[in-house]
Chains A and B, each alone.
Chain A
Amino acid sequence: MGNVVFQHVYKHYKGEPNPAVNDFHLEVADGEFLVMVGPSGCGKSTTLRMLAGLEDVSKGNIYIDGKFTNYVSPKDRDIAMVFQNYALYPNLSVYENMALGLQLRKVAKHEVELRVSRAAKMLEISHLLTKRPAQLSGGQKQRVALGRALVREPKAFLMDEPLSNLDAKLRAQTRAEIIKIHSQLQTTFVYVTHDQTEAMTMGTRIVVMRDGRIQQVAAPQILYDEPSNKFVASFIGSPQMNFIDGIIASHEDGFYFENRRLRLPLPKAYARHLQGMSQGLPNSRRQVVLGLRPEHVLCDADALQAEPYGEWQVQVTVAMKEPMGSDTYIHTDLGGTAIVSRADAHIPVRIGDTIKLVLRMDKVHLFERESGESLLLRGASV
């Protein structure tokens, strides 16, 4: 029981020219795992802290569970928060750390014991209950911090980069743990991270933020397949999407993506989004950035032979190989533009080779050069 509503929320810090959070407008459904992702300094923590009541809201309204919450004090919001640096009380034992929130809320003693031992069992920290935080490893500390939130049984869990201080292996482990906890509890989670992998793997919905503004809100796969602007496209996905500058040209036989070195026909299906684009407009108004994911840049023999890909071939030189085990990232140079291809692990190319690539124009994204907005989604959203 805990949906969260942000209505045009702003945060102005004193002495800062730009708002840290700018018109944040979003509804988080009950039981949802919402991830806020974005580069550092984009206002994720500030948003979360406003929801927690640790930061005043400058403008706009926040509702938790239907209740207007702007002026409710943190302790009365019935939410629990997990911090990046654990924030365990160093002078209390693990048990006391977990129990404090309940004791302060005057929960009966046997109930406290029950909830703490249940959470401890769930997180496999039962054997640590008498220890002090200083005696624990980073991973154990973060589990205790999770446990402290769990025992509260709050309306919503807020987590601010809880895994950032852990090493890679532990991070993956704890990530799985949190996903498991969410599926068991079915409570609302609002999770902040700067790591797109974390966002993609954990969220049922993802909010991408930049400079205090929401860029896109969507389920992970949609975010990946249909980024609404160039920033989202570049932020989500690893290795990053390839970007090539050019213009849209219209010829008798359809639309083309062109620049000084390339002239690639665009599939007919794109025509409807590009109609307004190229009828008699000057070149400057037709400037676009073409975006293409590395897995849609092909360099294997089959693809080069394939019939429909014939006109999408380009010649490049191999600049670097990045073997990942399962596959290899081939970094190539297309007349000054870097193009990365995700290729088979055993592909026989060497650095310095001149090879042919297929740029799958049926998978491209097109963004307006200036605004960065997606041309293909523009039609869809209107």
Chain B
Amino acid sequence: MTQLPPPKLSQLSRTLELFRSFQKPLFLRLSKLKRVSISKSLLIVCFIGLAFFMLLPIIFLFNNAFKPMNELFLFPPTIWVKEPTMRNFEQLFLHAGAAVVPFTRYLFNSVFVVFLSLVVVILVSTMAGYVLSKHRFHFKGLILSMIMLSLMFAPETVAIPRYLIVSSLGITNTYLAHILPFIASPVAVFLMKQFIDQIPDALIEAAKLDGANDLYIFTRIMIPLAAPAVATISIITFQAVYLDIEGSTLYTTKETMKTIGFYVSSLTINLQNSVAGQSMAAAAALLMFIPNLIMFLLFQRKMIQTMLHSGVK
């Protein structure tokens, strides 16, 4: 995360503008293309190439899930599927149906944990961001620097202290064990604070004079304005919680308390060597990916707004 200097920022937004113009109908696009200079069209070609390159893994993921066994094991591996089949999914569901804990239990756990985490993280980060950005109080500088400091730790380094805290709280094998570690999210608080920083103080002061109390200002003025940041935080948190396996491997021993992320990763780990495992893993990977994709498509525009505003790359 680095601060973006203003000129670069405007460049970035111009590039974004360029991309946005691609959502228009084809004939409009073509008429627009005629007017762009050579250097610009070169840039466009470069970006299209880059975008395709970034898209490759996703294309691969989709194709893989529908590949029959023989294609999965082709060497060198191909990207495009030749004879699509639903066999992989059938196998996955068969396997899941035969397991001790039904597939739906993992799914429910995940949905429940993700939902609750999202709600709490949004609540905590918006409130903390608002107070840190717009209120004056003792030790504010200290709190801010602690948040900054905690941004710098790699998650692995805090795994053990985190385990100690969770176990000493006696919440192992509960949903709280999945949720609690995500609630204290310095990234979310930091993003939120940065975003709220650029909402002018005068707006809050005007509301105060209009007779609004803090709660009203927070819910009716801050939250609507901070919607893009909330969207961003939602995506980040969703991905973190949804893909998390630490909660399931470290803080829960009961199979019924584990999440779908753990289930899928255990599939791919346990069955890696078996031939059937490969096909199930391919299907499961796609299924895991789809909610992520939906979340992103829902919030992407707001997310880009946040990134531009908060000066975070």
- Which residues of A come within 8 Å of B, CB atoms? 52-54, 73-75, 79-81, 83-85, 87-91, 100-101, 104-105, 148, 152
State whether A83 and B205 are in contact (beta carbons under 8 Å apart), knowing that A91-B225, A104-B212 are contacts in the complex. yes
- Residue in B208, B221, B224, B225 whose CB lies within 8 Å of A75: B208
Contact B224 A91 (CB under 8 A): yes
A362 CA to B53 CA, complexed, in Å: 84
Contact A75 B209 (CB under 8 A): yes
A75-B210, A91-B224 given; 8 more Cβ-contact pairs under 8 Å: A52-B205, A52-B209, A73-B208, A75-B208, A87-B202, A89-B206, A90-B225, A148-B210
A54 CA to B211 CA, complexed, in Å: 13
Chain B residue at minimum C-beta to C-beta distance from A86: B202
- Residue in A53, A75, A88, A91 whose CB lies within 8 Å of B211: A75
Contact B209 A89 (CB under 8 A): no
Contact A75 B206 (CB under 8 A): no
**Smallest Cβ distance from B218 to chain A, in angstroms?**
13
Contact B221 A89 (CB under 8 A): yes
Residues of chain B contacted by A73 (CB below 8 angstroms): 208
**Smallest Cβ distance from B91 to chain A, in angstroms?**
50
State whether A54 and B208 are in contact (beta carbons under 8 Å apart), knowing that A87-B203, A104-B216 are contacts in the complex. yes
Query: Is B275 part of the binding interface, using a Cβ–Cβ cutoff of 8 Å?
Result: no
A101 CA to B210 CA, complexed, in Å: 4
Contact A79 B209 (CB under 8 A): yes
Among B203, B208, B209, B216, residue most surrounded by chain A Cβ atoms (within 10 Å): B209
The 8 closest A-B pairs by CB, nearest first: A101-B210, A87-B202, A104-B211, A75-B211, A87-B206, A91-B224, A83-B202, A74-B208
Residues of chain B contacted by A87 (CB below 8 angstroms): 200, 202-203, 205-206
Interface Cβ pair total, 8 Å cutoff? 54
**Smallest Cβ distance from B221 to chain A, in angstroms?**
6
Chain B residue at minimum C-beta to C-beta distance from A82: B206
- Residue in B206, B216, B224 whose CB lies within 8 Å of A81: B206
- Residue in A83, A84, A85, A100 whose CB lies within 8 Å of B210: A100
Chain A residue at minimum C-beta to C-beta distance from B213: A75
Contact A89 B203 (CB under 8 A): yes
- Residue in B202, B211, B224 whose CB lies within 8 Å of A85: B202
Chain A residue at minimum C-beta to C-beta distance from B204: A87
**Smallest Cβ distance from A369 to chain B, in angstroms?**
42
Contact A75 B212 (CB under 8 A): yes
Interface size class of B (residues with CB under 8 A): 10 to 19
A101 CA to B221 CA, complexed, in Å: 13
- 23 A–B contacts, CB within 8 A, in A order: A54-B205, A54-B208, A74-B208, A75-B209, A75-B210, A80-B209, A83-B202, A83-B205, A83-B206, A84-B202, A87-B202, A89-B203, A90-B225, A91-B224, A91-B225, A100-B212, A101-B210, A101-B211, A104-B210, A104-B211, A104-B212, A105-B211, A148-B206
A91 CA to B226 CA, complexed, in Å: 11
B211-247 interface (Cβ within 8 A of A): 211-212, 216, 221, 224-225
Chain B residue at minimum C-beta to C-beta distance from A75: B211
A101 CA to B211 CA, complexed, in Å: 6
Residues of chain B contacted by A83 (CB below 8 angstroms): 202, 205-206
A91 CA to B220 CA, complexed, in Å: 9
A105 CA to B216 CA, complexed, in Å: 13
Residues of chain A contacted by B221 (CB below 8 angstroms): 89, 91
A88 CA to B204 CA, complexed, in Å: 10
Among A52, A84, A91, residue most surrounded by chain B Cβ atoms (within 10 Å): A91
Among B200, B202, B210, B216, residue most surrounded by chain A Cβ atoms (within 10 Å): B210
A80 CA to B202 CA, complexed, in Å: 13
A52 CA to B208 CA, complexed, in Å: 10
A190 CA to B202 CA, complexed, in Å: 18
**Smallest Cβ distance from A313 to chain B, in angstroms?**
55
Contact B200 A74 (CB under 8 A): no
Residues of chain B contacted by A80 (CB below 8 angstroms): 209
Residues of chain A contacted by B200 (CB below 8 angstroms): 85, 87
Residues of chain B contacted by A85 (CB below 8 angstroms): 200, 202
A83 CA to B201 CA, complexed, in Å: 11
A53 CA to B211 CA, complexed, in Å: 12
Chain A residue at minimum C-beta to C-beta distance from B203: A87
A58 CA to B200 CA, complexed, in Å: 25
Chain A residue at minimum C-beta to C-beta distance from B210: A101
**Smallest Cβ distance from A149 to chain B, in angstroms?**
9
A74 CA to B216 CA, complexed, in Å: 15
**Smallest Cβ distance from B298 to chain A, in angstroms?**
20
State whether A74 and B225 are in contact (beta carbons under 8 Å apart), knowing that A87-B200, A89-B203 are contacts in the complex. no
